[in-house]
Structures are given as C-alpha cells and as structure tokens.
Structure 1
Amino acid sequence: MSLSFWERQSFQNWDYIVVGGGIVGLSTAISLKEKAPGADILLLERGLLPSGASTKNAGFACFGSLTELVEDIKILGEEGCLALVKRRWAGLQKLRQRVGDAGLGFQQNGGYELVSEGEVKYLPEIPGVNTLLKSFFGIDVFQEDVQLVQKFGFHKSVVKTVIANPLEGQLHTGSMMRNLYQIAAAKKIHVLTGCEVKQHEDLQSHVEVSAFSPGTNTDITFKAKKLAFCTNAFASQYFPEFDIKPGRGLVFVTEPMKQVPFQGTFHMDQGFYYFRNAGDRILLGGGRNLDFDKETTTDFGVNEVILAELKRLLAEVIAPGSSLKIDQQWSGIMAFGKTKEPIVKKVSDNITIGVRLGGMGVAIGTLVGEELAALAGS
C-alpha cells in the first residue's frame, strides 16, 4: 500500500528524524527544537512505550557508588572517571531543570552502599575517591556509617557496614518519561510509536529511513536532512561495527508494607544489585553478573536463577524475616561496552548516534541528547 497524496504532503518529509523514544531520543529531539524552534522533527519509536530501559529501570538519580568508581578508575584512570562523573551529574541537573522535580517525582533521600565481607577491601579507598570528587563537588561524598546496618534492619552477619552518599536521589521514571513526551508534544515534535526502522541510508543531499507499519503491513519511507539514532542496546542491529553489548536487567517490586524500614537508593556488589523504597514497597533489581551470557540479550524475559537470588537477598539480607511477596516483575534492556563512556558521534555527514549508556541512562541521557543535538545540527 502506497502513501496517499495527503500523507506524502504532511508526513514524509522532515528536517530531523530521531530514532528511539527513550530518554535519549526525547532529549535529543527536545534539544534540537530548542536550538532550531522552526525545525520539523519526527521521532520514531518501535514500541508503543519506550523499548529499552527508560520506563523499566529502578529510578536511581545516581552517578556511581564507591566500589563502582574504584573499578572505573582502574579502567579510565582518575581523570577519566571524574570526567564521567561530571557528565552524569550535569545530565541529572539538566533533566531536573527541564522536567522539574515535581514532574520527576524527585527525592534526594541519599544513596547507600552495603558492604559485605567481599567489599571490605574497598573501605581504605574512601579518602582517595573523596579527594578526587571533592575537586568537583566541594564535599567528602562518601562516609562510612556502621550504625546504618541496624537502623535499616539489614542482616548483621552479611552486611558489615554501610557507605553513605548524601548527593544521590531517586525519581519516578514513568512520570519522567510521560513528562518528557508532554514537553515534546508542546514543542510540536511529532512522535510515531509502533514504528520500527528497518533500513536507513545517507544520500548526501538527505537521508531516507524505511520503517515498518504493522497496521498496513508495509514499509513507509521517510526523508530528512539529518538522522539521529538513540536506540541504545538496539543500535547494534544498525551499527554492528561498534562495541555495543546489550544487558538485560531484572526488577521487581514487593507487595505494600506497613512501613518500609529505609528511604534512599541502595547499591550492592559494585552496583550489580540495587534496591530502594518505592512508596510503601521495596523495589529490587540486578543480578545479571550471575549469568552474563544469558543476560547479554535484547530479548525481554525473566532469568529464574537471578530471580531466585534476588528473592533470597530480599528475604535474608535486605528485609530479613519479613516474608514479603513479589507484586510485579519485569525486565529492561541496557547497553554496555568495554568502558562506561557512551558513544556520541557522527557515523556519516548526516547521521549521528548517541548510544551505550552503561546502565546510567537516567543520569547521562539528557546530556547525551544535548550533545547529539549539537552534532546533528552541525
């Protein structure tokens, strides 16, 4: 089925096409519109809702726990690690400025890292990491507080101590994304969901994008001056030459409790496990390090081995003796590489990509969108 005369007139030609309706795609489109208010912008999302992790994550407004940053320093060096922290922080502030704390459901209840016997070796690293971060934040970010183990009700024989970070926050990612879509709509950015991009080509004078329309079972070709890909882990199908590895993350929330014994965002085991209060529930996720091979996938689903371990952590370590039941569980798809630095670059004169957010999309996604918009507009 071909496009009608009216469709060709109104829907085929654009100034910019953005592929991906998650936090990076929306941020890119909004930043483009801020730079060029008169531009016609089309955003294409293959799912009815964002397909990756933007509405499926744990809602952490964080820039890295102590153990994560110590490991990052080994790979990136101190300056590289600090630069990444600065970008994450800048992204969070830009997100808060754009959406507003009320729209994000943002709460700065602090962040904490549970230290087991295996992580005790990281405690001597606190002064050095604090010195590095103090050059930017102006305070000592990490402080050990062993009294929090009892205060929060964790299992004393497993959790040896807790590292506190007052700068960390939490937010409601559903509200975040809904508000970003509303901002895009107010700026007259046209969004098409349920529209999967199959092919793209840079023809120098313009780009052409072929997208599948399930309603008519046909491909539709869109044209634009510039094209930006913001598909994170799913970018590997379009750009197999880049170091992009998907990582599936499992998350669940418990049934409501009379009182959650803690507030804030919590990290365990170099950030591979994470939990927080979510209203009157506990939200817990992670564990892909238990089965990297199976979790390196773009397929949604539940790994029963990981689910069993998350349940054990909840029952034995986080809320011992509570007998909490799981109310909902789901998975999201993130993107990783040899380093945690995102890929933001031009792949041709008219095509750019902003992908591989390293599990830090909430923190760095808005900044990546801003950087990508600057590249796409140049």
Structure 2
Amino acid sequence: MQSTQYSSFWFQEALKSEPDFQPRKLETDTTADVCIVGGGFTGLWTAIQLKVKQPSLDILVIEKDLCGSGASGRNGGCMLTWSTKYLSLKKLYGEAEAIRLVKASEAAVYDIEAFCKTHGIEAQIRLDGTLYTASNKAQLGLMAPVLAALDKQSINAWKPWTTEKVKSESGSDLHLEGHFSSAAGTVQPGLLVRGLKRVAEQMGVSIFEHTPMTELHRQNTPIRITTPCANIEADKVVLALNAWTPSLFPELKHSVVLVSSDMLITEPAPDLLKNLGFRDGKSVIDGRTFVHYYRTTPDGRLMLGKGGNYFSFGNRMSAVFDQPSRYQTILDAAFRRFFPALQSVPLETTWTGASDRSATGMPFFGRLADNPAVVYGLGYSGNGVVQSWIGGQILSSLVLDEDNDWTRSGLASGPKGSFPPEPIRWLGAILVRNAIRRKESAEDENRTPNWLDKQLSRLAQSAGKADKS
C-alpha cells in the first residue's frame, strides 16, 4: 500500500506496517443498526464501545479516505487530560461534574494503555507524564490559579519541579518553570488509530474506506446515507467527522473554527537527544496561548509542533491541511530557540493538521434537532487523543438511549457557544492571532507588549491553552 500521498509522518509510518493492506470500498446497498460516518478515533472508539455493550449490533463505519488519515493520524500524539481546564469545566458544567471529568480524563489515559495491551496494539504508548512549562518570564505562575483549585478538591496530580530539574529533563534551557503530571504520556497516533480499526473489525464491525458520505437523508425512516457507489439504511447514525462537520451540517457551522496545528519531526538522533536529557516519552508544553509542544519517539526523533497558524475562511477544509506545513519558518525558529544543540540534525518532514476549536475549548456532543436518531461529536480543540475515548463513551450511550453519567453530562447537550458569521469570524481570528504573535514575541524578548495586543490576546485565552495534541 503506497503511503506517499499522506503528509503526516505518523500515518506514513503506520501504513508501512500494513504492506499487504487493501482498502475495502462499499459497492453494494446495505443496511445496519448503526452507521458511523468517520473512521478516526471518535468513530472507532464509538464502534468498539457499542460492540462491548451490545455485541449483536450490526455496525458499519464509512470513511472517505483511509481510517486515521484525518486528525487522528496527524496530531502530535500527546496524551493529555482536562486537569488544566478545571476552572473552565467548573464554569461550564458545575463543580461536581468538573471534578468527575478531570478524574475521567486521567483514568482514560490508563484505559487506553490497557486496551492496547489487551488487544495487542503496538502504538508506542509511553506513559511518562507531561511537563507544562514557562518558556519566558511572562508565563511564570500562569498555572497557579488552576493548581490551587485542583488542590482544594484534592485532585491535583501536578507536582512543581525545580528549575534545574525542568531544564535537565525537558531538553532545553529555555524553560524557567515547570509542573509535572504522571497522568499523561505520548503515543504514535497513526499506529493507534490503525490498531483500533483492526480491533473493531475483529469485533464484527464492517468498515469501508474510500467511501465518502455524499448525502444524509435524515428525514427518512430508516435513515438513508448515500455514497458514490451504494446506499446505506440505518436505524441510528453517528457523525464522527470532527473538522469536516461544519461544512456539511449548517446547524453546526458556527460552533467551531478550523485552525491548523503544524508539526516537524527530525531524523533519528538518539545519542544527541540523550545528551540533552531526553530519556523517556514525556511531552513538554509551554505556557503561551497557541502552545509549543514537543516529544521524542522510541527511535530517537524529536517532534515539535505549534498551534494557531492557519485559520480557514468559512471553515472550509482547505488543501492546506493536507500538505507539508506552510509555516516551516515559524517551526524552524522555535526549534532553534529550544534546541540550539540540535541544529545539525536533519528534518525528516513537516505536516499540518486541522483542529476543530470550539468557543469553550471543550468538545460537545448531541443529537440533530430534526432527527434525534442522528448523534454527533466534535470540537476537541486540539486535545482529542485521550478525550476521544470519552467521546466514544458519550456517543455510544446516546446511540443506545442510555440514562447514565455521560448522557446527563453537559458535554452531551450540544455546543455551549458559537462564533460570529463570516467574514467577521475570519477577520477576528486573524486579528487576534497576529496580536498574540506580537505579544508573545515581545515577551520572548523580555519587552513589554503593546496594550492593545494584550487585550486582544485575552479573547483567545478565555478557553485555555489550545492545539496540544
């Protein structure tokens, strides 16, 4: 199976482990109890959870390309939790639910690892934690309010590290402060999503790739899904399209904004990385609004990414998201600042991923107003590797009409905010993005940012850090 058409290093590497794989395309009309549209983390976790709960269900997954070729196979592979978003969770859903969601997100890290071990998915999972840092003086103390709130509820997994320890274990002297949580890790996301596809099929889920949905006849009973070569009739439908959702469903087009997260990865240099202090698989995330995030791989590569670059006009899935990063200059500058000792290490490649960022920075799930048999989930806001496991729990519960903690959660009540229509949305996003860039550039140089840039930057900070995973 040739993989050169996919820009993501992770997905190309994953497909190399399937040399004899041939995708199966839907070519004959069929029926199903549940049709899941989208073969990424959300769709596959939902299919698996449905099979666990009701093994007799006839479940069909359709994917317009290959399973995992979207955001699931091209993110940074950082397994992070909702603990740093506790204050936002409390504001949105109340104290008790916020505590439950923090605990659930931390448990999900270990649940995913256990699932992979049980089912033989070799996804390079390394639960070595995560380190949140300050990479300039302006970022010092930013975590203090949320840590104090977590302490108050006795759910604080974060530990402060000395500056010396932060520098020695982060691989960079740029960091001035750091807090470490062991409830986190890293994963090769392409291998994980392809492993989920294999397990879902072994459980009896029918999966068809290169089978895009061309139309959803949501008023039909059963619901009819049209594809280029065949029709599907299903009692329930799950829309697990993430960044593709707003362009297909007008009622959700103002619920997210599509923004790129851009990544680079080096060729292997294990000895150099070890000399810098990289000895495990922890992720490192700095304290800016559109964060820098980086991690190593088991074969000694360094991956670095940065969010908040390309904003899509009208939430169109532009070709930009399927190409090498057009922001390599920005990535290269960050790489040089963080790792001056690695300047001789060649880059393997760069790539781009689309993040469906919600107004709150949290995902949302629900039912289409005109047909509750159609459920959806999106808005992971760059933090979906772990949270898509929870998404599978929520969507499977909605499909089965269960009355449980997930269906009663505020997460399952649709979007909690919206963005303005175009062109205001795009113009506002660019205005804020550029203000953030100027503000953080000044802070990196120990200069006082412009007052207006600081005020505009606060508009993006209200939903917390973005684009990390």
Inter-partner Cα distance in structure 2 for 1:155 and 1:30: 40
Q: CA deviation at 1:323?
A: 2.7
TM-score (norm 1): 0.84
Q: 2:105 maps to what in 1?
A: 88
| Secondary structure in structure 1 of the residue aligned to 2:74 | coil
Q: CA deviation at 1:135?
A: 2.8
1:186 aligns with 2:196: no
Inter-partner Cα distance in structure 2 for 1:296 and 1:319: 37
Equivalent residues in 2 for 1:129-168, closer than 5 Å: 129-132=149-152, 135-136=154-155, 140-152=157-169, 156=173, 158-168=174-184
Alpha-carbon spacing, 1:78–1:351, altered in 2? closer, same or farther (3 Å):
closer
Alpha-carbon spacing, 1:43–1:336, altered in 2? closer, same or farther (3 Å):
same
Name the amino acid aligned to 2:189: T
Alpha-carbon spacing, 1:367–1:258, altered in 2? closer, same or farther (3 Å):
closer
Inter-partner Cα distance in structure 2 for 1:207 and 1:123: 47
| Secondary structure in structure 1 of the residue aligned to 2:348 | strand
Q: 1:47 maps to what in 2?
A: 65
Equivalent residues in 2 for 1:181-260, closer than 5 Å: 181-203=197-219, 205-213=221-229, 220-242=230-252, 243-259=255-271, 260=273
Alpha-carbon spacing, 1:249–1:13, altered in 2? closer, same or farther (3 Å):
same
Alpha-carbon spacing, 1:33–1:118, altered in 2? closer, same or farther (3 Å):
same
Inter-partner Cα distance in structure 1 for 2:333 and 2:391: 36
RMSD, aligned α-carbons: 2.8
Q: 1:20 maps to what in 2?
A: 38
Inter-partner Cα distance in structure 2 for 1:89 and 1:233: 25
Q: 1:375 maps to what in 2?
A: 398
Alpha-carbon spacing, 1:293–1:72, altered in 2? closer, same or farther (3 Å):
farther
Q: CA deviation at 1:327?
A: 0.5
| Secondary structure in structure 2 of the residue aligned to 1:29 | helix
Q: CA deviation at 1:321?
A: 5.2
Q: CA deviation at 1:74?
A: 9.2
Residues 52, 232 of structure 1: 8 Å contact kept: no
TM-score (norm 2): 0.69
Q: CA deviation at 1:273?
A: 1.5
- Percent of aligned positions that are identical: 21
Inter-partner Cα distance in structure 1 for 2:203 and 2:240: 19
1:23-45 CA distance string (max 9 Å, x none): 11011111122222122111000
Q: CA deviation at 1:341?
A: 2.4
Alpha-carbon spacing, 1:281–1:177, altered in 2? closer, same or farther (3 Å):
same
| Secondary structure in structure 1 of the residue aligned to 2:62 | strand
Q: CA deviation at 1:64?
A: 5.0
Q: CA deviation at 1:253?
A: 0.9
Inter-partner Cα distance in structure 2 for 1:123 and 1:349: 40
Residues 354, 369 of structure 1: 8 Å contact kept: no
Residues 70, 125 of structure 1: 8 Å contact kept: no
Q: CA deviation at 1:184?
A: 0.8
Inter-partner Cα distance in structure 1 for 2:331 and 2:235: 47
Residues 87, 364 of structure 1: 8 Å contact kept: no
Q: 1:170 maps to what in 2?
A: 186
| Secondary structure in structure 2 of the residue aligned to 1:100 | helix
Moved more, 121-130 or 231-240: 121-130
Alpha-carbon spacing, 1:74–1:82, altered in 2? closer, same or farther (3 Å):
closer
Name the amino acid aligned to 2:159: F
Inter-partner Cα distance in structure 2 for 1:51 and 1:212: 19
1:340 aligns with 2:340: no
2:148 to 107, 128, 135: 128
1:3-24 CA distance string (max 9 Å, x none): xxxx75xx51111100000011
Q: CA deviation at 1:232?
A: 0.6
Aligned residues: 357
Residues 92, 362 of structure 1: 8 Å contact kept: no
Q: 2:418 maps to what in 1?
A: none
Inter-partner Cα distance in structure 2 for 1:271 and 1:342: 18
Inter-partner Cα distance in structure 1 for 2:67 and 2:375: 23
Inter-partner Cα distance in structure 1 for 2:154 and 2:83: 17
Name the amino acid aligned to 1:367: I
Alpha-carbon spacing, 1:40–1:113, altered in 2? closer, same or farther (3 Å):
same
Residues 31, 234 of structure 2: 8 Å contact kept: yes
Q: 2:389 maps to what in 1?
A: 366
Inter-partner Cα distance in structure 2 for 1:292 and 1:162: 30
Inter-partner Cα distance in structure 1 for 2:372 and 2:89: 34
> Which of the pair is proportionally richer in strand?
1
Q: CA deviation at 1:81?
A: 5.1
Q: CA deviation at 1:374?
A: 1.5
Inter-partner Cα distance in structure 2 for 1:142 and 1:76: 26
Equivalent residues in 2 for 1:213-362, closer than 5 Å: 213=229, 220-242=230-252, 243-259=255-271, 260=273, 261=276, 262=278, 263=280, 264-268=282-286, 269-270=288-289, 272-279=291-298, 280-288=300-308, 290-292=309-311, 298-299=317-318, 300=321, 301-304=323-326, 306-320=327-341, 322-347=343-368, 348-362=371-385
2:78 to 60, 66, 77: 60
Inter-partner Cα distance in structure 2 for 1:334 and 1:309: 18
| Secondary structure in structure 1 of the residue aligned to 2:71 | coil
| Secondary structure in structure 2 of the residue aligned to 1:176 | helix
Residues 81, 105 of structure 2: 8 Å contact kept: yes
Residues 247, 315 of structure 2: 8 Å contact kept: no
Residues 14, 40 of structure 1: 8 Å contact kept: yes
| Secondary structure in structure 1 of the residue aligned to 2:154 | helix
Q: Which runs of 5+ in 1 are unaligned?
A: 1-6, 214-219
Larger relative contact order (Cα-Cα within 8 Å, sequence gap ≥ 6): 1
Residues 68, 190 of structure 2: 8 Å contact kept: no
Q: CA deviation at 1:318?
A: 3.3
Moved more, 328-337 or 117-126: 117-126
